[in-house]
Amino acid sequence: MIIENLQIWSADVWFEEGTQSKPRPVIVVDSVSYSILQLTSKTEREGYVIKDWEKAGLRKPSVIRTDRLVILRESDFKDYVGTLTERDVEGFLTYLRSNPPYH
């Protein structure tokens, strides 16, 4: 399995209490450390709204949550979903410059 930056995957993400995990869509922000940000279909949440969500392989409009960076293990990644379009890569990077993550 090759995991690359800005790919979207379904992955087991552990709850903050660390007692259980749940399959979640995530975006890889560092493929070396397996650092990810979670996606949510609750588009009222703070974060970057993915404009081309269908082209990215998502089933619903989604937001990249930038409030919590999570480090996974390679074994937590389950299924490849897709990759952001160039428009969303540029939009996401612009969003990050204006809205520092992990606050």
Q: What is the pLDDT of residues 74-101, one digit of tens each?
A: 999 999 999 999 999 999 999 999 987 7
With 0-12 CB in 10 A as exposed, 13-18 as middle and 19+ as buried, what is 103? exposed
pLDDT value, residue 22: 86
Question: Tokens at residue 68, please?
Answer: 């919590």
Q: Using CA atoms, how far apart are residues 97 and 44, in angstroms rounded to an integer?
A: 20
pLDDT score of 82: 98
Extract the residue ranges of the chain whose pLDDT is less than 70: 17-18, 102-103
What predicted TM-score, i.e. pTM, was given to this entire model? 0.90
Fold of domain 7-98: SH3 type barrels. (2.30.30)
Q: Which of 30, 12, 22, 1 is nearest to 76 (CA)?
A: 12
Question: In whole angstroms, what is the distance from residue 72 CA to residue 23 CA?
Answer: 12
Domain residue ranges of the chain, discontinuous segments joined by +: 7-98
